Amino acid sequence: MSPRYVSGKVLGSLGTLAFVIVFNFFLFRVVEGNPVATLFRGRNLTDAQRAAMRHQFGLDGSKLDQFWHYLVQLAHLNLGRSYETNATVLSEIGAAAWPTIWLVGISTLLSTVIGVAIGIVAAWRRGSVRDHALTSFTMTTYAMPDFWLGMLLLIVFSVLLGWFPIGGISDPTSNTTGIALLADQAYHMVLPCLTLTVAYLGEYAIVMRSSLLDTMREDYLTLARAKGLRDVLVRRRHAVPNALLPVVTLIAINFGFVLSGAIAVESIFSWPGLGHATYAAIRAPDLPMLQGLFLVFSASVIFFNLLADLAYAYLDPRVRTS
């Protein structure tokens, strides 16, 4: 992979990130209006107290002064302080990041493995009853809104059957530690993880099926069969590895989007991750938290898109020479 290709992709990503930073700052200040008035509505504050609060939250001065102050803070990895907790936004995001990373990471792994397996079976048995059944199933799951699926699973398995807890990451009445705590957290993760897995496996199955069908039309597979190779070996050694190229890039792209798109699922299951933190910041409203979360989500999408571009170029040299 040439340095010119890599530098071009990196510079493009940095340019997109710069636009996001500018958009992130002005968007929330236009939408939010006067956060001090919103936070302390109904309270009798003097003009001096309001001015002190605006200075504390960095809301005094012109919009350009505030923007310059924001850039200086951002250069020092300072995203400000939460209006609700008065803790640094970076520490709040850091505390909420790991539950989301675990949830999204495991669900992405499961949806990828199951979706790719379904896509392979459906493509290799194209036109059969199995293909129609699997394709119908994946199209149905792909069309389901994740929040609707989450509420459905919550009602059935938590409320009606009582098999799983209604929400949270662990039992608040339990004092378990170590392996027992991990088991309790895994037990609480089942339903939100199942929701994201089912919601996204359809996309992987559809892409894998389409890619494998295109690959199966290639001449080298016909030649491999003519040499006497069994269909199982043709599929395992030649067809599937080449058909996986679009799936590899889809994994990188989707991970960034799922990371930012878990807001509804985490809110439904009260999972204390970035999605639930976003929901709480919107309800407050908490301007610094919303700005910080929006920046993290946007940066994750940009970063994983960059990884997807580099991975595809590494796996397929035709991309970087085109």
What pLDDT band is residue 76 in, cutting at 50, 70 and 90?
A: confident
DSSP 8-class letter at 24: H
What pLDDT band is residue 225 in, cutting at 50, 70 and 90?
A: low
At 21, the amino acid letter reads I
Q: Give me the pLDDT at residue 31, please.
A: 56
Q: Give me the pLDDT at residue 49, please.
A: 61
CA pair distance 98, 104, nearest whole angstrom: 10
Q: Is 107 helix (H, G, I), strand (E, B) or coil?
A: helix
Which is more confidently placed, 173 or 41?
173
**What ranges in 154-226 are assigned the alpha helix state H?**
179-216, 219-226
Residue in 31, 83, 22, 84 with CA at minimum distance from that of residue 56: 83
- Give the global pTM: 0.76
312-318 long-range contacts (CB < 8 A, ≥24 apart) are 312/245, 312/248, 312/249, 313/1, 313/5, 314/1, 315/245, 315/248, 316/245
Strand partners, 128: none
Domain architecture of the chain: domains with CATH: 3-75 (no CATH), 94-316 (1.10.3720.10)
